[in-house]
Chain A
Amino acid sequence: MLSIYFGEKDNVMNGPAWFRFNYEAKWLSEGLVSRMIRDIDKSEYQGGELIMSDVLGPIPPERLSGGLQTLICIYNKPELMFNATSCGENCAKWLLEMGKDKDISINLRYFMPFENLEPFEIRILNEDKIVMNMDEYTRTAIKYV
C-alpha cells in the first residue's frame, strides 16, 4: 500500500540526489520501471544503461527527470522514505501502481491530486488512517501542506 507523510519531515531522502550516486542498472529493466520511463519521460529503455529520450536523444540514467528518478528509488528501496515532492502530478498514478505491488512510504510537501484514480487506498501517516477517495484524501492532506 502507498503510505504518505505530509509536510516537513527529517530523515527522508532526496530522490534525484540519491539516485545519481546509488542506482543499480538492473532496476531499469524492470517492467514497471520501463513503463514509467515511457509514460513520464517519453523515453525508451534500450538495455544496459542507455535510454533513448524523445527530447534529448540517447541519455544515461542520470539524465532522467528528477520525478522519475525519485519513483525508481521509491520502488526499489522501499525501506527508505523519499521526498516525493520532486514528483509532479503525472507521477500520482505510478505511486498507486507501485503501492499495489509493495508497501511504500513517501513524504509529500505539496498537494498531489490523485484525481480520476479512485478507488484507491492510501494510508496517511500523519493520522494513521486510510483514505479511499479524493474527498477523504483532500480534506486530510490539506491540513498538512
Chain B
Amino acid sequence: MKGSHHIAIESSRLKYEFDIKRNITIIQGDSATGKTTLIDLLNTYGRYGVESGIMLNSDVPCIVFSANPITWQDTLKTYNDSIIFFDEDYSFIFSKDFAETIRDSSNYYVLITRQPLYNLPYSIKEIYGIRTTGKYHFPEKIYHEFYPIYTDVGIYEIKDAVVLVEDTGSGFQFYQKICGADKCQSAGGNSKIVGKLENMPHDKHVTVIADGAAFGAYVASVLAISKRMSDVQLYFPESFEWIILKSGIIKVDNIDNILERPEDFIESRAFFSWERFFEDILVKATIDDPIRRYSKSKLSSFYYEGKNKDSILSIMPKGVFDKII
C-alpha cells in the first residue's frame, strides 16, 4: 500500500480525524487523551458497521487487531491493503517475529505504545499524541486530532561541535570528510548513540546526526540524555540519501514531487522504511556512472568535493556545521 490516507470516524458525541502516511505510526502521549476510546470506536464500527451509529470515512479498511495473541501471525497474513490498529498490551509487537511479519506487508500499522519498538524502523515524524480541539465539554461533540510529538526535534542552537553520527556508512564518511576525522565519530549503530553521547567529554559541544526515518525507537532516550548535557544539538534528517536527492546533484525524474510527497510513491510492501526507498532511488540513478555511483558502504568522492559538497551542505539547517568546517 502507498499514499496518505485520511481517516475520520465519528459518533454523535465524538469525532477523530487524522492522516496515516507511512507503514508504521506510533500513538503515545499523556493518559486520558482518548487513545482507548479511538480503538473502541473503530472496533465497534468493525463489528457492527453503520448499525453502530458510528460513521467511518476512509479509502482503505481500518481494522483493530483483536485476535488471539498466540495466532497473531496467521491473522495478520489475512489482511491486505488495510490500516491495522493495535491497542497497547500486545507484547508480540516488540518481537523480531513481528518485524519480520509486517516487513513485506501491504498494510499500514498504527501501534499504541509508549514502550520503544527497537525492532521496527519507524520515523520520529510518525510518533503522535492525541489532543482535543475546540470545545470539549459533554454533551457537546468532542473533536480529536493527532499531533506529532517530536516536531521540535532539530537544531537547537549554533555551536562549535563534535559530530556524532549513528553509523559508519556513507553519511558518516561524508561528515568525516567535511569536519575532519578528529571531530566526527561514529556511534556504531542507533542503539549505541545514548551510551556514546553520555560519555562525551563535558567540555565538548556535540551534534548528533541520525536518520530520522528509522530513529523513532531511540528519540526519547536521546532527547532525555541531551537535556541533561550542557551542549547538545540534534539533527535528524529523513536520511543522508534524502539530503543528496534534495540537493539536486543527481538528476532523477520527478524528484521534486517524490520528495514533496514521498508517501505517494513508497510501496510499503517493498520498503520497510523510507530511508531504504531514498537509497534505492539513488543507487538506481547512478548505477551506470562510475563517478557518481552511490554505495552505502563506500562514498564516492563525487559527493564530498567541490560544488557537490556545497550543494549537499546547503540542504542542512543553518548551524549544523557553521563552526567546525
Q: Which residues of A does B touch, CB under 8 Å? A: 14, 16-17, 40-42, 52-57, 65-68, 85-91, 109-111, 113, 134-135, 138-139, 141-142, 145
Contact = CB atoms under 8 A, between A and B. Distances in A.
Contacts of B119: none
A89 B221 contact: no
Contacts of A86: 31, 88-89, 114
Closest 3 pairs between A and B when the two form their complex, measured CB to CB: A67-B31, A65-B32, A88-B30
Nearest to A94: B31
Interface of B: 13-14, 28-37, 88-89, 113-116, 132, 136-139, 142, 194, 198, 220-221, 224-225, 227-228
B138 A139 contact: no
A41 B34 CA distance: 10
B interface, over-half SS: loop
10 contacts: A16-B36, A52-B138, A54-B138, A57-B13, A85-B114, A86-B114, A88-B31, A111-B220, A113-B224, A135-B228
B36 A65 contact: yes
A66 B36 contact: yes
Contacts of B225: 138-139, 142
A139 B224 CA distance: 9
Contacts of B228: 134-135, 138-139
Contacts of A135: 228
B31 A90 contact: yes
Contacts of B32: 40-42, 65, 67-68, 88, 90
A21 B207 CA distance: 50
Contacts of A138: 224-225, 227-228
Given A65-B32, A66-B36, A138-B227, A53 B198 contact: no
A68 B30 CA distance: 11
A110 B138 contact: no
Contact of B138 (A56, A88, A89): A56
Contacts of B142: 55
A65 B130 CA distance: 14
A52 B138 CA distance: 9
A66 to B, nearest CB: 6
Contacts of B220: 110-111
Contacts of A111: 220-221, 224
Contacts of B114: 85-86, 88, 109-110
Nearest to A134: B228
B31 A54 contact: no
Contacts of A66: 31, 35-36, 88
Contacts of A113: 224
A41 B32 CA distance: 5
Nearest to A112: B114
A84 B31 CA distance: 11
Given A67-B32, A88-B29, A142 B139 contact: no
